Amino acid sequence: MHVMSSIKCSMLIHPFFPILRPGGVCECSPEYVGNPYEACRPECVLNTECNRDQACIRNKCRDPCPGTCGQNARCDVINHIPTCSCPSGFTGDPFSNCRQAVPGWFNAVFYIGG
């Protein structure tokens, strides 16, 4: 937080403008980061602004796995992309359902992306 005049704090352009709090304290809006003297910005715009095990989802670095893979599937994030697979001992479509494999049958299926 920085103390600024109300003129300087309110001169920045929406939606990246800082909020002027009582007492002249200026800070970025809750959905934005940065130095309010210079500019406030979203946490991310591109996946490359996040850790490799996260993706930029609605301007926030988040785990892209929730809701991506099917029942009993595992999700690993590889370079920002969720990768679904059936765990060892299971077979099927990891985007819908992995089921226990029948012993003696080889039915491994591996899918990348969503």
Q: What is the pTM of this model?
A: 0.66
User: Domain 65-112 is in which class?
Assistant: mainly beta
Lowest mean pLDDT among 23-27, 32-36, 47-51: 23-27
Would you list the DSSP string of the chain? -EE--HHHHHTSPTTSPPEEETTTEEE--TTEEEETTTEEEES-SSGGGS-TT-EEETTEEE-S-TTTS-BT-EEEEETTEEEEEPPTTEEEETTTEEEEPPTT-----EEE--
Residues 36-86 have pLDDT tens digits of: 777 788 999 999 999 999 999 999 999 999 999 999 999 999 999 999 999
Give 12-16's long-range contacts (Cβ < 8 A, gap of 24+).
12/36, 12/39, 12/40, 16/40, 16/41
Domain residue extents for the chain = 2-42, 65-112
